[in-house]
């Protein structure tokens, strides 16, 4: 049994999709990051960086419990645990890890900063918005080129696709590409033909708060939790 510390965000959804794909037994421990659940001392023991997703696998390596945070590391762990969704051919395996890191170090942080400065930031700083918008577009050009002529990022469906999907999907309508991204669009369709991608992406999506959907500004408590006093309090 895996305890899955989760909220319906792009990073959380990667692991939700992976758990659905692999059929592992899991139960959701809901983490409401707008409420500050990520600072609960019991959660911090599992995820000391105060972020979801995280897992506690009661049946980890050697039969001992294993706690993990960082979605990329969790994806590798679950792929190795199940023998699924990571290529076995050595060349493809390293390419899969390379594109996983491209998501973790590029798409995740750059898209995240774009959304922060464009949506959440109280001061709208044109330079910051333009800088991250340009990076998000550049990264999507790179991904579109990689997907041109391929079914999936490293040909076979893998954790690299699972890592990229929630961000690329989530940003598609909000921040349309200023170029023809038809290889990405066709890949999104292929991803969405997989029931586990849909069920994982939609896991507890009814709990997405109106503040996250852009329908309401963050209240002071949520602001403090994500960006203010509570977030930066020494622990
Ligand atoms: N690099 C981390 C990022 C995780 C992350 O940024 N999680 C966000 C939600 S998408 C979070 O929990 N934020 C709460 C906080 O920063 O206090 C990963 O890939 O797991």
Q: How many CA atoms lie within 13 A of 35 on its CB side?
A: 9
Asked if the structure places residue 68 within a domain, the reply is no
Q: How far is the CA of 125 from the centre of ligand 1 (A)?
A: 23
What pLDDT score was predicted for residue 166?
A: 98
Q: How far is the CA of 149 from the centre of ligand 1 (A)?
A: 33
pLDDT tens for 94-113 read: 999 999 999 999 999 999 99
Which of 5, 6, 7, 11 has most ligand 1 atoms within 8 Å of CB, for mutation?
A: 11
State yes or no: pLDDT of 226 exceeds 90. yes
User: Does any ligand 1 atom lie closer than 6 A to the CB of residue 70?
Assistant: yes
Asked if the structure places residue 163 within a domain, the reply is yes
Asked if the structure places residue 102 within a domain, the reply is yes
- % of the chain residues with pLDDT over 90: 97
Tell me the CA distances in angstroms from 86 to 10, 143, 199, 225, one per residue in order.
20, 19, 21, 35
Collect all residues with Cβ–Cβ distance below 8 Å to 76 and sequence separation of at least 6.
86, 97, 100, 159
Six-digit token string for 54: 């995280």
Closest ligand 1 atom, residue 54 Cα: 20
Asked if the structure places residue 112 within a domain, the reply is yes
Closest ligand 1 atom, residue 52 Cα: 12
Asked if the structure places residue 187 within a domain, the reply is yes
- Indicate which CATH number applies to the domain containing 155: 1.20.1050.10
Position 16 confidence tier, pLDDT thresholds 50, 70, 90: very high
What pLDDT score was predicted for residue 213?
A: 86
Range of 146's domain?
90-198
Average pLDDT, the chain: 97
> Torsion angle of alpha carbons 34, 73, 27, 36, nearest 10°?
-20
Instruction: Please name the residue whose Cα sits nearest to atom 14 of ligand 1.
Output: 51
Overall number of domains in the chain = 1
pLDDT tens for 35-75 read: 999 999 999 999 999 999 999 999 999 999 999 999 999 99
Asked if the structure places residue 85 within a domain, the reply is no
Burial class (CB in 10 A: 0-12, 13-18, 19+), 189: exposed
What pLDDT score was predicted for residue 214?
A: 83
Instruction: Please name the residue whose Cα sits nearest to atom 19 of ligand 1.
Output: 71
Asked if the structure places residue 50 within a domain, the reply is no
Closest ligand 1 atom, residue 72 Cα: 19
Asked if the structure places residue 116 within a domain, the reply is yes
d(CA 19, CA 38): 21
pLDDT tens for 120-178 read: 999 999 999 999 999 999 999 999 999 999 999 999 999 999 999 999 999 999 999 99
Instruction: Please name the residue whose Cα sits nearest to atom 2 of ligand 1.
Output: 70
């Amino acid at each position: 049994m895996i305890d899955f510390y989760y909220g319906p965000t792009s990073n959380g959804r990667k692991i939700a999709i992976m758990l659905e794909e692999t059929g592992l037994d899991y139960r959701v421990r809901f983490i409401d990051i707008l409420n500050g659940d990520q600072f609960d001392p019991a959660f911090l023991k599992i995820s000391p960086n105060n972020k979801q997703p995280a897992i506690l696998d009661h049946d980890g390596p050697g039969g001992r419990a294993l706690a993990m945070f960082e979605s990329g590391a969790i994806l590798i762990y679950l792929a190795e645990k199940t023998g699924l969704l990571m290529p076995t051919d050595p060349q493809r395996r390293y390419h899969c890890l390379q594109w996983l890191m491209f998501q973790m170090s590029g798409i995740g942080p750059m898209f995240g900063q774009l959304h922060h400065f464009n949506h959440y930031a109280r001061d709208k700083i044109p330079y910051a918005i333009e800088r991250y918008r340009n990076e998000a577009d550049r990264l999507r050009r790179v991904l579109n080129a990689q997907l041109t002529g391929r079914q999936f990022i490293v040909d076979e469906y893998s954790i690299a696709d699972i890592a990229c999907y929630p961000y690329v999907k989530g940003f598609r309508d909000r921040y349309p590409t200023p170029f023809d991204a038809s290889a990405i669009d066709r890949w999104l369709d292929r991803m969405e033909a997989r029931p586990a991608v849909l069920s994982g992406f939609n896991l507890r999506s009814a709990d997405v708060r109106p503040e996250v959907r852009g329908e309401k500004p963050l209240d002071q408590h949520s602001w403090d939790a994500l960006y203010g006093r509570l977030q930066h309090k020494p622990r």
